Every structure is written in structure tokens, then in C-alpha cells.
A and B are shown apart, each in its own frame.
Chain A
Amino acid sequence: MVKDIQHVDVLIIGGGVVGSAILREVARYSARVVLLERNPDVCEGTSKSNSAIVHTGFDAPPGTLEARLLAGARELWPQVIEHLHIPYLQTGALLIATSDEELATLQNEITPKAERNGVTLSPLTRDEILENAPYINPAIKGGALVEGEGIIDPFWTTRAYCENAVLNGAQVFTGVTVTGMSVEENCISVHTNDGLTFAASLVVNAAGLWSDEVARLAGDHSFALTPRKGQFILIEEDHGVSHIILPIPNRISKGILVTPIIFGGVMLGPTAEDVQDKSDLATTAAGLQQIRQGIARLAPAMAGAASARQFAGLRAVSSTGDYIIRFSTASERLLHVAGIRSTGLSASPAIGRYVADLARDQLGLALRANFIEELPEYLSETHPNEGDVICLCRSITRGEILAALRSPLPPETLDGLKRRTGAMLGDCQGNICMPRLMQLFQQQRGSDLLALNKNYDGSSPVVARVPGREGV
């Protein structure tokens, strides 16, 4: 049986924030561009489970590609946020020193390092901090303000990068896993789980934690990634937190933080635990305990707060310590964008630009004349008679749900709908409205409810028809 082969100029593997940012930047050129994502929606990997901070990069190791791209991203974000209407808030971050040693580290190491990265830290006394943030532990010694740090919606960012690219002619395939690659003379053949074959002039490997495995599909064993777990506790009560609260970072991680969430509530965490299994997203009693202990030093009042939800994400840690953005040892037609450990969201606009420049030079691409820079505000475009509330706890209307189901990159799963609209994220966690949302899905998309998943295959909230009601 001869399968159709799709010829494309650039094929991106991975629909995380990194692959999606690249997609949008490559879509500026006259080229056939596709993105393949294994999960049923974009932003299902590490990009969905993180602190959601747009870091300035003040503590990045100076001189690294990471530091350079973070600096570049600082210039690009304002436009990206404006054009893609991304919910963003420049909260600033308070760096908190809880001991004299930490204060010395802040003054002698972190402040000069930030300076080299082009970020100015403003020193704050203990009293100034407590005045700004009365929930902070009065036993602290002092700290600094990092003005440029902010919070964002990572899912919105990723989705909007993709939707904007789709509007400009790019294609996004979800639920498609790359299972094989063969390096040919003029292209790379990319094979997928559902039998599609692509012949790509350039393949961008942005498969996050799995990019070492994707590299191996092409016979490239030049790098390996290990997962480092970060667990979080989410609390609904904001405790008056209006800044990101950062401890003094150490070598392994940025430590356990307090981060306000753009849509309300506060995140406590993450932990930093090296684990074996790339699919181990379980939260553990020990991890949650560690978070509460860490928070007790910074903001004791929050340490015991009731938790609305807990979750974990996995960082992709490379042996080099820096981003790995380079061509494969196996072929100049395969470009790795890997090891984007703790700052991929923040650096994404600049990573996208950087990779698109490489693709342009490699393939001799020309800018398209009619690139649409701005994403229409689909999600607020509602129709008459759709004003009733479906998600009770968040007061989200039928119109908002239907707008998401009608958008350029509509959700295929209930989690996809949740992330696009905020439905099911309130106090009842979707127990009241999920059955109604399932019906709307069915009406709008013709979905078979037994195949409508929460996220992955086999995660439908229902498993069979009630016996005797099969035909209903």
C-alpha cells in the first residue's frame, strides 16, 4: 500500500510552548510548515505544569545561550502579549533573604550577576518588604525587587502561538506521534503512529523531555535528558499576594516560591526532585510537605492554607546545563531545540525568532507579504442567546464555551476546553458542569461521548451506555 507523502519545508515535533513559538515565527516565511504533537492538545507536556512566570533571566548563567535568549525575549514580549492578547501581569518579584548568609549572597553574587544579564535589582530593607507584603515572615533579613518579572497564562500563550500560525497557513496535527525518522538525501522522512509520512526539508526537534529520544530516532545519541520533578500546591485564597516571592536561588533550582496566578489564587512550589520516569507526574506526601516547609520560611501564614489542587511538572535537564539548540550529529536537516529546563516559557519568543532565523538561512526562506500579526479575539466573540451560565463556580457562559469549540484550534478534549475557557476550574472542579459540557461538545463537534476524553486516550468520564439505554 502506497501512503501519501506530504512534502513540507519545516516540520516541528512537539507542541509545547517552545515548538509552538517556533511555529509562529517560521510561519512568517513563505513556507509549508507543520507541527506534530503526540498529545490530544497542544501544551500538554511540561509547558502546562510550571510556575507560569515570565522571568527576566536575572539569575541565568551569564554568557550562556539561555541568558542571551532570555534577554532577547524581554524585548519581544510586549508585542507578543499585545498581538496575541495573552493574559499577563507584570507583578515584579521580591527576592527574600531569610538569613545573613543569604543576604550576603544576594548582595555579592546575585546582584552583580543580574547586572551582567542587564537586569537591575533594587535592594529592599526588611521593613520595606513587610510594608509591601505584610504576609512575609517578619524574621527575614532583607531582599530586593526584580521589577521586570511577571506572570502569564502558559496555555494561552502556547495555544495563541499555534492559532496565529494556523491563521497564517501553518498546520497543527494533534494526537500524532513521531515514531521514526530516516535521513534521505534532500530531506528527512518522518513517520508517525497513524501512518502519515512527511518529507521535510528541515525537522525541528522540540519534543521537550523526549527530545533525546526523538534524536535517537534519527540515529543521534549525542545528548540525554533526565526528568526533574517539580510539585505544586495551588490555593484559591490569594492572601493579598501581589508579587512573585522568590527565595535566594541555589545551584539546583530557583527554590520554592509563592506565585500569584493570573486568573486568581496562588501557587506554592515547585520542588526539585530528580526522578527516573519521564511520565511520573504523581504528587507525593513528602513533596507536598517539603513545599509547606519551604513556604513556612517565606510566608508562614500561607504554609497551612487549604489546598484546592496539587500537581507536578517535569523539567528536562541536560548534561550541558545550557539550552541545546544546534544541528544534529546525524544530519544538518535536523535541528535540536532541547534541554530548555526552567525558562522555556520566558524565553519562548526569542527561541522562536532564533530558530526561525536558522531555518531561513538553511532553506533560503523569504518573508511572506501578508503575515497576520494579530490574533482575533475569538474567545470573547459570542452569539445571541448564549448568555446563560454553564460553569457555575466560574460563571462561564454557554457563549464562551461555544466560542472555544468554534475557534481555529478547537479543543479535542475536556481538558482542552477547560484550559481555553477556565470552566471546571472552580470550587466543584467540574463535577456540576462537566456533563453539560460533554453535551455541548457532542452538539458542536459531533463527538461520541464514549470517545470524548478528559485528556489522553481512555480517559473518557464515561465507559459505556447504561444497559437498556443504548439507543437513547
Chain B
Amino acid sequence: MSGMYDLAIAGAGLSALSAIAAGLGRRRTIMFDYQDEPGGFLKHALPAPGFETAWELIRSTRIPQGLTACYGATVVGLLPAFEGGEPHTLVVRQKQGTSQVQAKRVLIACGGLEIPREHAQIPGSRPAGVMTPIMAHQLLAQGYLPGKRAIVYGDAHYSRVTAQRLADAGVAVSLISASEAQLVAIEGSPRLQRVTFRRAGETSSMEADLLVYSVGMMANTHWLKGSGISTAEDGAVQVDAGYETNVPGIYAVGTVIAPSLDHVDSLAMGKEVASLLGGTP
């Protein structure tokens, strides 16, 4: 893993895979991901209707010869070389310990985190049974039901897929649109009992032991704090038209630059980055 790489990719989610499928990373490239497999957090919800392209990409993408893919390997810091210099240094944690990796160019493709309930000031208690989709999907995959009567709150296609997954496992699910209903109270202790919504001035409550809060994503950039990489108010990495950050040689792509965009955009951006950074067209 030591030595100097031409390119280091932080994150093996959809945008990175899409770039690799389009030819990026054929030479002296190293890629890291927190998870034990490629495919990003969305993978836990797949396969699912509407996500066929993403699923196909995850299943079919071959890691090319010149690319070392490290899973269970989390990039916890980035030390850019400023003033047009190189290399840049990534601090990586994996089983064997913490190490540093140097690369001439870096592609930040570490995606987003789902916005948790705690980020909105919703009055009420802090019961068990309130989570975002990623947690629900993982618990289901481990063979456990996170609740028996669920409310999935959100508008995204991903919210609907999550609701369907729960229903398939035998959970009674209500899907509530976040654009139509405002969440005004979460009650219950120790477990969730009731959720209250306001729609067009009318308040109504629903009994539930699971609330899947699925209102959107935020950029996963806490690990870039203090690195000197410019981020916007909402945490998203700022890039120019060529996906380059304020630091020459450091690029970013996917949800990490645009948390409100769809997975389809990540796939498209991945292709574009591949051609810009020198993948085969």
C-alpha cells in the first residue's frame, strides 16, 4: 500500500464505480472505502425497482489491474500539498492501524450521510425506533425487524424503496410525504409510540413503533475539516466545472459535491470525471 500513487480515490460508491467503469484508475491507483464492499450506502437498499442501472454497475464493475481497492479502510484525513505541489497525503485507518498514503491526484468520492432526525428541531422525546433508511436496511439484512408498525417519512424514490423493503419483511408501513406533512412531534419512551404531523394547518397523530426519517442527504465531509478544502455552508465540497476543488490536483464527485442530487447524477458525474481525469472514453 505504500509508495506513490498517481491517483487516490476516497470512497467506492456509485460515482467512483461509474468513473472506474468509464476507464478511470487503470494505472497506479488506490481506492479506499469504509465499508467491506464497494457500492456505497445505497447498496444496502438494492436491488430495487428504479435502481437497475446502479445495481448493474455495482455487480458488473471489474476492478482493473492497476487499481488497488482497500475495503474496511477509512480515509480520516487529507493533507493537501498546496501551491500546485504534489503529492497529497491521505491518512487511512484500517485493521493493521493508521497509515499515510501519497498520491499525485486525489478524487474525493465519499458521498453523503442521511440527514438524521436530530438535525431538525422536532419537539418531543428521544425514543428508540427513530432512524434513517441506512440503519433500517442494515438491521433487516442482519435478520432483525426495526419495528412492526412503521412510518417512512420522505419523498425520495429511495424512501419508497425503503417502505417497500419493510413491507416485504412483514412490517405495516405508512409512507408520509415530507413535502405535504410537517413533522411536529415525536413521542414515546423508551420506544416510539406516536408521531404527529401538520398538513395544511391540520394536526394529526399516528401510532407507530418505527419512524424512518428519510428527508435527504448531507455531504460526508466532517473528515475534511481543517484540510483547507473549500466547502459550502451545507458542507458540500466546492468544485469548478472540471470537478477540481480549490486545491489543484484534488477533485470531488458525486453526492459529496451536491447532496441534493439523485443517484443518476452521481453515475453521470462519475463518467464525466473519468473522461476529464484521463479515463478511456
A residues within 8 Å of B by Cβ? 233, 279, 281-285, 288, 306-311, 384-389, 392-393, 395, 397-398, 426-432, 434-436, 438-439, 449-450, 453-467, 469, 472
Residue of B nearest to A414 (CB): B128
Q: Can you offer 8 A-B residue contacts whose CB atoms are under 8 A?
A: A428-B116, A431-B113, A431-B116, A438-B142, A455-B190, A463-B209, A466-B140, A466-B170
Return the contact of B118 from the options A308, A395, A438, A458 (Cβ within 8 A). A308
Bound complex: CA A159 to CA B98 (Å): 28
Q: Which chain B residues have a beta carbon within 8 Å of chain A's beta carbons? A: 34, 41, 72-74, 76, 93-98, 113-114, 116-119, 121, 123-129, 131-132, 134-135, 138-140, 142-148, 169-170, 189-191, 209, 218, 220, 222-223
Instruction: Check A285–B74 contact: CB distance below 8 A.
Output: no
In the complex, what residue of chain B is closest to A456 when comparing beta carbons?
B190
Judge whether A459 and B135 touch: CB under 8 Å: no
How many angstroms between the C-alpha atoms of A436 and B35 in the bound complex? 11
Q: Is the interface of A mostly helix, strand, loop or mixed?
A: loop
Evaluate whether A388 and B145 lie within 8 angstroms (CB atoms) in the complex, with A285-B123, A310-B121 already known. no
Most chain B CB inside 10 Å of its own CB: which residue of A385, A388, A398, A455: A388
- Complex Cα–Cα for A233 and B94 (A): 35
Chain B residues with CB under 8 A of A426: 222
Partner of B73, one of A309, A388, A429, A432: A388
Q: Is the CB of A307 within 8 A of B140?
A: no
Give Cα A384 to B96, complex, Å.
7
User: Closest CB of chain A to B99's CB: distance in Å?
Assistant: 9
Distance between B198 CB and nearest chain A CB, rounded to angstroms: 12
Complex interface: chain B residues within 8 A of A465 (CB): 143-145
- Min Cβ gap A232→B in Å is 12
Chain A residues with CB under 8 A of B93: 387-389, 395, 397
B116 A389 Cβ-Cβ under 8 A: no
A450→B147 CA distance, assembly (Å):
11
Q: Is the CB of B143 within 8 A of A469?
A: yes
The 10 closest A-B pairs by CB, nearest first: A459-B190, A389-B74, A462-B144, A459-B128, A435-B138, A429-B116, A456-B190, A387-B97, A469-B143, A395-B76
Q: Is the CB of A435 within 8 A of B191?
A: no
Partner of A282 from the list B125, B145, B169 (CB cut-off 8 Å) is B125
Query: How many Å from the CB of B258 to the closest CB on chain A?
Result: 17
Nearest CB of chain A from residue B55's CB, rounded to whole Å: 21
Q: Within 8 Å CB of B148, what residues of A? A: 463-464
Which residues of chain A are within 8 angstroms of B170 by Cβ–Cβ distance? 466-467
User: Taking A453-B128, A461-B128, A463-B209 as contacts, is the C-beta distance between A388 and B144 under 8 angstroms?
Assistant: no
Please state if A431 and B114 are interface contacts (CB–CB under 8 Å).
yes
The answer for the CA separation of A388 and B96 in the assembled complex, in Å, is 7
